[in-house]
Structure 1
């Protein structure tokens, strides 16, 4: 017997939303990661050549981190308009912005042909990528989570999270294909590096039409119908929920530092450099394998968080990550390709388990009227604290100490900070996300509110919306 029409329509819409958020975030993060991959492999030679190899590599990694500094700008803008005009329009705008910046990088002149203007243009386009990435994530996860039923938010929220490992897998896979078969050797340095960037224009075209077809979030539709949009959501967010923003940002920092350093720019450069000496294609294929495992454990953690809770899933993930920060480099430093696969594979278990539940947990701790701003800004700040300069810091630590142990201690410290933040937040699995439940959403997200919430004290009435 078929399901009643409304239920069938709801499920069909949820599938469309899942596809739109997954495909869109995959494209966005492919664009973002293709830059990090190229930075570690060729940008030191192409854009920062006069600085020398070591300093040029540091500058290339620093250009990866600079974009993170502009993520909050994208988060502020997307959060402001996402809480005022809707989640869906911001998804389309950020996708097009990211695709345009990535495609233009693919046609940039290098330092050899344009001089100092080449790295300046590269940095400007990287900043544009950062602005786009800052606004993308919040809209995608809210579309997924706010369309889902309370008992399925973890798995629904994990779907846009899958775009990160999928984007990384696609970026590493395309780069490995170019280096290994299509444009090997000098050809990759001459023209092959441009192809992955130029492919973005095709991917963005596909994502644009898919995202245009999905329905607006039901939570925002309710906000709009009630005319309860907050006039300046960012001001309201920091006035009433600044501690929540800080804690949520630090929760993400440990995962982001590990992810960007381990499977982003640093390890492909380090493992294929003189210290380890593996072939670049082999290293990129190992990163592709790790991204595939990251995908699997991110998806698993979404389901797991619906069963045992967001907080417990996070703690399991960070425990796994902490256990691997030293073995990760011990295994890589052997120079054995099989052990590189083992190292990255084991490390991505913790990455996935501490990333999948993030969309649902962020959505459940922020009130409806400032939710887009809250999740976007927390994510952007967490990326700055964690991943912005993680490859640069790692390279500087190796240069200064001659050892990767200092890098492992750095990762351990970042993981520890995130564990503390996780401990200070409350699991709010299943809370009503609608604007009609704003009063309950306003309190109880941290352990500092726990006593009042446990005692059943009435939540303060929500302030009148500023229209």
Structure 2
């Protein structure tokens, strides 16, 4: 990331240049104008602004994900079959992923029309307020079916906010980055994922231990299920206030400012990106696909499988014990995100991600060897070192595949539709790779065995490898002059 605005140059965009009215006819592009009174933005401010927002957003998301496994099946759904309650809870978890592409279109429109700064503030508020309100909801035993209905609505609203958050934070990092250092600069918002996980699940662990909650034999009238579970949701509002303070002090990114100076905005970014960059949308969606599948297997699904009852074919590990193991795994996730940024800048996006995707296929094919109850053990006899090793390998691969994505996806799109395009690709992939994954994985374990969950990951990784093979190498792409696949073919 640069301490100052990069030198200006030709600012031709991939789409047809258009004025505020969004006219589609070709127009001459004026030379880029560098404002004489621009003040350099400190690198530390850009780092903090891109990191703190995603940390808060992912904290909110993981607080819900943890509660969806350990709390919501007990208090938001009618008492009955445990497996059915878990699947219903996973379905509400997936509602946010349906909302995320809608959020990417909504916030992407304003991000490409009005700028990155104001849009990032809006996405943070949307997510934060929805999370806070979940902490105030009545339960099924208080208001009946209204409880899961309201929970689903607020989960959907969470998804809207996160749909606009990630792409804005990624653009903030990449559009300030030094030449040849974009993947390393763009890894900062990616670190928000493990940081948010540490905050959310670390807080849950403290509460579980402090109030003696046993997930394998929950006390429905105990303090944890009565009111303590609400605290992580309510406390999120303080974090939102900190994030707002940091983001209000931001400046617009230099790349977007040059697009403004050259009058390159389009009236309808979503229409423009579908018309000119539909191929990049498809590629970006499936490049990200296996990353989502791996992540939600290694966080949400593995939690439900690990703490699930042994009589249902799961491992029966106490929640508090497994959460400690999961936090150890997340440390590997955080450690390998910077490594992936360096690799992607040193060797290129495609070679790095193709190699990691191949390793993910091998990892998926080995799930039965790691996780079968006969191998792993159950309850008090669980093989703790083997589980730690499984989590460490999975999360190492997660760091290596997730780290470069905030550079790869923005590099596919021109400045005047970059917020919209990268956001749609990222969040449509979330429906395919994340919303379905915990539900499908839980179903596969119930119908077959845990090895089929690994086959699911292997198949997803193979699909991503095909998308990567068809994608351009973007390591040296000029963000001011990114073009569509059609225009690159025409130029050749």
Give yes or no for TM over 0.5. Answer: yes
CA-to-partner distance for each residue in 1:181-219, whole Å, 9 max, x for gaps? Answer: 245343322222111111101111111101111211111
Please give the alpha-carbon distance, in whole angstroms, between the structure 2 residues aligned to 1:391 and 1:159. Answer: 27
Deviation at 1:160, TM superposition (A): 0.3
SS at match of 1:419: helix
Given the alignment of the two structures, is residue 342 of structure 1 paired with residue 389 of structure 2, yes or no? yes
Which residue is 1:210 aligned to?
246
C-alpha distance in structure 1 between counterparts of 2:210 and 2:164, whole Å:
36
Pairing of 1:3-18 with structure 2 (within 5 A): 13-18=42-47
Whole-Å separation in 1 of the counterparts to 2:478 and 2:71: 49
Preserved contact between residue 20 and residue 211 of structure 1 (Cα < 8 Å): yes
The reply to whether residue 267 of structure 1 matches residue 302 of structure 2 is yes
CA apart distance, 1:319? 2.0
Structure 1 residues 64 and 226 mapped into 2: Cα distance closer, same or farther (>3 Å)? Answer: same
Say which structure is richer in helix: 1
Match of 2:93 among 64, 69, 72: 64
**Secondary structure at 1:277 match in 2:** coil
Q: Offset at 1:110?
A: 0.5
CA displacement, residues 98-119 of structure 1 (integer Å, 9 cap, x when unaligned): 1101111111110011111111
State which of 153, 170, 173 in structure 2 corresponds to 1:141. 170
Please state if 1:421 is matched with 2:467. yes
Q: What is the alpha-carbon distance in structure 2 between the residues aligned to residue 409 and residue 81 of structure 1?
A: 40
Contact 2:328 2:392 in 1 (8 A): yes
Q: 1:284 to 1:4 in 2, by over 3 A?
A: closer
Q: How far apart, in 2, do the equivalents of 1:330 and 1:201 lie?
A: 43
SS of residue in 2 equivalent to 1:432: coil
User: Which residue matches 1:400?
Assistant: 447
- Superposed, which structure 2 residues align to 1:253-332 within 5 Å? 253-263=289-299, 265-274=300-309, 275-328=314-367, 330-332=369-371
Unaligned stretches of 5+ in structure 2?
Answer: 7-37, 215-221, 377-381
Q: Is 1:237–2:273 an aligned residue pair?
A: yes
Write the mapping of 1:35-54 to structure 2, written as runs, cut at 5 A: 35-54=64-83
Any conservation in 2 of the 1:183–1:192 contact (CA below 8 Å)? Answer: no
The answer (yes or no) to whether the contact 1:25–1:160 under 8 Å persists in 2 is yes
1:357 aligns with 2:392: no
Cα deviation 1:145-199 (Å, max 9, x = unaligned)? 0001121100111110111121122212111111122453433222221111111
Give the match for residue 370 of structure 1.
417
SS in 2 for 1:48: coil
- Residues 19-44 of structure 1: per-residue CA shift (max 9 Å, x gap): 11101100000101110111011111
Mapped partners of 1:344, 1:187: distance in 2: 31
Q: Secondary structure at the match of 2:409?
A: helix
TM-score, normalised by the number of residues in structure 1: 0.90
- Measured after TM superposition, the shift of residue 14 of structure 1 is 2.3
Deviation at 1:255, TM superposition (A): 0.8
Answer yes or no: is the 8 Å Cα contact 2:130–2:155 preserved in 1.
Answer: yes
The one of 120, 124, 132 equivalent to 1:103 is 132
Would the alpha carbon gap of residues 192 and 388 (structure 1) be closer, same or farther in structure 2, given more than 3 Å must change?
A: same
- d(CA) in 1 for partners of 2:341, 2:367: 25
Contact 1:315 1:354 in 2 (8 A): no
TM-score w.r.t. the length of structure 2 is 0.86
- CA distance in 2: counterparts of 1:279 and 1:103, whole angstroms: 28
User: Distance between the aligned counterparts of 1:201 and 1:329, measured in 2?
Assistant: 41
* Residue 126 of structure 1, CA deviation: 0.1
Single out whichever of 93-102 and 282-291 deviates more from structure 2: 282-291
Residue 280 of structure 2 contacts residue 485 of structure 2 at CA under 8 Å; is this kept in 1?
no
Cα contact 1:64–1:389 (8 A) shared by 2: no
Deviation per CA, 1:38-74, whole angstroms, max 9, x where unpaired? Answer: 1011111110133531101000011111110111110
2:204 aligns with 175
1:151-162 alignment, distance < 5 Å:
151-162=180-191
Contact 1:327 1:343 in 2 (8 A): no
Match of 1:458 in 2: 491
Deviation at 1:273, TM superposition (A): 1.5
